[in-house]
Amino acid sequence: SSAEKGGYEHFMIKEIMEQPKAIRDTLTGRLPDSGFEVNLDGINITKEDLQKLNKIFIVACGTAYHAGIVGKHVIEKLTRIPVEVDIASEFRYRDPIVDENTLTIVISQSGETIDTLVAMREAKARGSRTLGIVNVVGSSIAREVDDCLYTWAGPEIAVASTKAYTTQLICLYLIALDFATKLGTISYEEFANIRDEIKRLAEKVEYVLTHKENIQKYASEHFNAKDIFYLGRGLDFAVAMEGSLKLKEISYIHSEAYAAGELKHGTIALIEDGTFVIALATQEKLFEKMVSNIKEVKSRGAVVLSVAQEGNTDIENVSDHVLYIPRTLDILAPVLTVVPLQLFAYYTAVQRGCDVDKPRNLAKSVTVE
Ligand code: G6P
């Protein structure tokens, strides 16, 4: 009913709009305004536990896997512990190199995805400590992991995951900060800077959401596209994968995410006159590289919608449309960048008359193999 949807037409848009609250709830009590620590209820991993780790695995499916790719970048950057990310259905069958010096982080909204659950059990059987990032309280994964950090996103009903993803990112930032402070791999200044910026994210997501009509307009111009390509580098590539998945799962438009620098090794052959490309250029260090990649696809006829941090107006010279996200730290940008991509997928699917909340062939939680 409409009441259940809080007056919105679909659960998906309701859940997109709930992200500022979900982020605030996920942060509550965990990131003190002062001091040099994170308070992670449910995680009892000590400095000594961390010092013996030689690897972290992040294992998940679907959108949670995409959050894991962001997690890899962030944890490696802040702790210098090598992190490997794997798809749960691959991990469980490939005899992964996991032992008592490995920490296995599993990410799951439902806490019931069978591949993720079995992958976690497999890691545990090999002696790994297991840490869950889970939304559903008391779910199988939440009960079986050694340590569990909840995303306080509230119930997510739409099959396409939105607020679970953004809160999974928040948990990954918190875990990275917690480990880095314990290991001494971060200075107080850097910690305080990241902490303060994390606390501003909910408000910045709100700001992105107030401009949703712009995105609706782009969706109404491109909803008939046959293929849409998402390009990015670094963390923007991780977000591109999630944006592309959102689009294909609910609008049924063929879509690919590509590491922008890899395009020239094959996929650029598919760019022709009028091909729609969404180019993510939010990473300051990679901005100029992305501008070159945008020129490459433009010169083959692509129509480009770019996403950049506010102030980087140079991008307008090479793009057909530009969406700006509020300025933030590069590592935190995914939380903001994904929001216009969620909205674009949503409005595109609505325009095409798709069953947005219950896309064909998909289930909210895959509990059988
Ligand atoms: C299903 C859903 C996806 C979700 C994936 C993992 O395929 O349709 O939206 O990302 O499962 O679910 P989990 O509950 O483990 O996060």
Q: Per-residue pLDDT tens, the chain, 369 aa: give them.
A: 677 898 999 999 999 999 999 999 999 999 999 999 999 988 999 999 999 999 999 999 999 999 999 999 999 999 999 999 999 999 999 999 999 999 999 999 999 999 999 999 999 999 999 999 999 999 999 999 999 999 999 999 999 999 999 999 999 999 999 999 999 999 999 999 999 999 999 999 999 999 999 999 999 999 999 999 999 999 999 999 999 999 999 999 999 999 999 999 988 889 999 999 999 999 999 999 999 999 999 999 999 999 999 999 999 999 999 999 999 999 999 999 999 999 999 999 999 999 999 998 898 989 888
> Could you tell me the two tokens for 229?
């390509």
Rg of the chain on CA atoms, in Å? 20
- Residues flanking ligand 1, CB < 6 Å: 61-64, 108-110, 113, 116, 159-161, 362, 364-366
Q: Which atom of ligand 1 is nearest to the CA of 362?
A: 8
Instruction: Count Cβ atoms below 10 Å from residue 6 Cβ, excluding itself.
Output: 12
Q: Which residues pair with 142 in a beta bridge?
A: none
Annotation says 364 is catalytic = yes
Phi first, then psi: give them for residue 255, nearest 5 degrees. Answer: -150, 150
Cα(352) to ligand 1 centroid in Å equals 23
Residue nearest to atom 15 of ligand 1 (CA): 108
Instruction: Count Cβ atoms below 10 Å from residue 361 Cβ, excluding itself.
Output: 6
> Which of 77, 124, 358, 364 is labelled catalytic?
364
Crossing angle of helices 333-351/163-183, nearest 10°?
Answer: 170
Residue nearest to atom 2 of ligand 1 (CA): 364
Q: Which residues of 20-33 are buried (b: 16+ CB within 10 A; e: fewer)?
A: bbbbbbbbeebbee
Cα(249) to ligand 1 centroid in Å equals 11
DSSP E strands in 214-296: the ranges are 227-232, 254-259, 276-281
Which of 109, 64, 70 is CA-nearest to residue 91? 64
Which of 323, 360, 315 is CA-nearest to residue 340? 323
Cα(159) to ligand 1 centroid in Å equals 8
At 110, is the secondary structure helix, strand, or coil?
coil
């606390």: which residue's tokens?
199
Cα(206) to ligand 1 centroid in Å equals 25
Q: Is the pTM of this model over 0.95?
A: yes
CA distance 348 to 13: 12
- Which residue of 107, 109, 360 sits with most ligand 1 atoms within 8 Å of its CB, as the best mutation to test the pocket? 109
CA distance 22 to 86: 26
> Could you tell me the two tokens for 153?
């996103």
